[in-house]
Amino acid sequence: MKKNLFLCLLFTVLILSLMGCQSASSNLNSAGELTKVSVYHAEGFGENSSGSFVATYESENHQEELALFHRLPIEAVEQEGIADIEKPHFNVEMHHENGEFEVFHLWIGGQGHKSSLMNVTNTHTVYFLSAELTSELITVLQQE
């Protein structure tokens, strides 16, 4: 009996340990290739795309830009702790080839700094984007 209890407890600890060792990388959706991305200045927090229009990138003419925006949810790393941040700089609508549609809040850091990303359907979790990705975003958005 004690042996079975010990094995059960050991198994439980092993499972919990493995769950805790999972990568802190993004669990944001990346539902296939992007066909269109629209960027708006954000008017508020938790809202979809109500703000002044910045740019739209569509598959025929903007392959590099679409590839960059496709990387955002893939390369984003979850930030530990409670999300307590200011109004986003941009709202980004991402349209996928499978018909799915997502909206993200985007905070652009300065050159050499990280940026932040948040899916509007989960405002309790913030994801960091690398300084390199931030630099690429600044370059693309400044062209508009």
Angle of helix 63-75 relative to helix 131-142, nearest 10 degrees, comes to: 150
Q: How far apart are CA 107 and CA 114, in angstroms?
A: 9
Q: Which domains does the chain have, with CATH numbers?
A: 41-142 (2.60.40)
Q: What is the pTM of this model?
A: 0.75
Which conformational region is residue 99 in: left (phi greater than 0), alpha (psi within -120 to 50 degrees), or beta?
left
Q: How far apart are CA 92 and CA 102, in angstroms?
A: 8
CA 105 to chain centre: 8
Tens digits of pLDDT across the chain (144 residues): 666 544 444 444 444 444 443 434 444 555 678 999 999 998 877 655 566 889 999 987 899 999 999 999 999 999 877 666 788 999 999 999 898 889 999 999 989 999 999 998 888 889 999 999 999 999 999 887
Cβ neighbourhood burial of 16 (10 Å; 0-12, 13-18, 19+): exposed
Cβ neighbourhood burial of 104 (10 Å; 0-12, 13-18, 19+): buried
